[in-house]
Amino acid sequence: MTVLDDDMAFAGRDRTAVVGIGQTEFSRDSGRSVLSLATEASLKAIADAGLTVADIEGIVRCGDDTVTPPTLAAALGAANLTYWADTGPGGVAPCMMMGLAMGAVLSGQAKAVLAFRSLNGRSESRLGAGVQRTGAEVSGGAGSYDEFFVPYGLMTAGQTFALMTQRHMLDYGTTAEQLGAVAIACREHAQLTPHAQMRGKPLAMDDYLAARMISTPLRLFDFCLESDGACAVVITSAERARDLPRPPVLIRAVAGGSPRDHRAGMMFPAVTRHDMTELGGRRAGEVLWNRAGVGPGEVDIAQLYDCFTISVLLQLEAYGFCGKGEGGPFAASGAIRRGGSLPINTGGGHLSEGYVHGMNHIVQAVRQLRGEADMQVEGAELCLCTGGPLPIGSSVLFRKAA
């Protein structure tokens, strides 16, 4: 693994920190507005940081969130807002939100930045329901290129990842049991997480294999949850973080990347790549490790974006934890489980904790490096978080402060 020389080190390395975290209950029907959820998670994060609403000068969000920074600022009573931004698309956003917050703090545009994601992903806008757009919205592409795929039956994320899974199986011999190893690891971790939606619902391999097929070869438990909920974090400078009450978690580096054979649009065009199992995470990982000055072998925990079980296998390969095509055997070896060489999604992940579009992974990473997680990995110092695998990759590496 090639890393940067010290005199070429990434300018942002360890200079900002997450100092506060907050989340709501994760449920199937919150009975609340997304603004109410965002406000609760944000107030909890601000209080956890030992700050007040008046200290928040910046707000960043996922571009898919229906709650805007000015609206959230009004709900919070944040009168000192000087910076706001959004990024995306979709699950790519949370990791890149850390980059936006880092840039705002280091450039002096805001001393403390709130990053949040809020959605009623089960009771309202179900992300797994497929494309439901009018002709006017689809005509001309609207940046998605959906009109080239939807009329022919490719309408959901599950179908897209099913095609990627089938390709991986054909090329590398990946098996259903190897996919099941991911689902079972996440479910085991959820059993140790009181707030996880799948707490109290253990999963065995026989249960996984017997589950109904949703989009061949993906079964029910290959799919992430649909959840209502919100998460938020507060970012400030590492220097200021030392004076705050909670153990700071340093942002070591942030990086995004596109696959070599990148296609325009959102999700569906990925199936036209020469290798649809190649993710932007490979380039994101190369950049991240160079910026961080470490390699994948030094990472203690990973919160990998698990919209589907196959996305975990592909990211294990993309970020260099194993070779191309070796994600299945790596997962099946037990490496990703509690006590393994790389425990993943230690709160249960999107498959078993809740689906907050990657933001719950950020919160879980902070808990781990503070030493406050329900399923604590002892001695953990470096935690990788990855963003949605399509259409491009995103990642952030967190470090425990000395």
Q: Are 305 and 394 in contact (CB under 8 A)?
A: no
Residue 112, classed as helix, strand or coil, is: strand
First to last CA, the chain: 25
Q: Are 186 and 351 in contact (CB under 8 A)?
A: yes
The Cα–Cα gap between 80 and 113 comes to 11
Residues sharing a CB contact under 8 Å with residue 60, sequence separation 6 or more, in sequence order: 69, 84, 85, 86, 87, 97, 100, 101, 104, 113, 114, 115
DSSP state of 153: T
Q: Are 87 and 97 in contact (CB under 8 A)?
A: yes
Closest CA to 227 of 78, 347, 61: 347
Instruction: Kindly report the number of other CB atoms within 10 A of residue 174's CB atom.
Output: 25
Residue 228, classed as helix, strand or coil, is: strand
355 among known catalytic residues: yes
The two structure tokens encoding residue 328: 């299945």
305 among known catalytic residues: yes
Residue 111: φ, ψ to 5°: -80, -30
The catalytically annotated residue of 83, 172, 305, 319 is 305
Report the catalytic residues: 305, 355
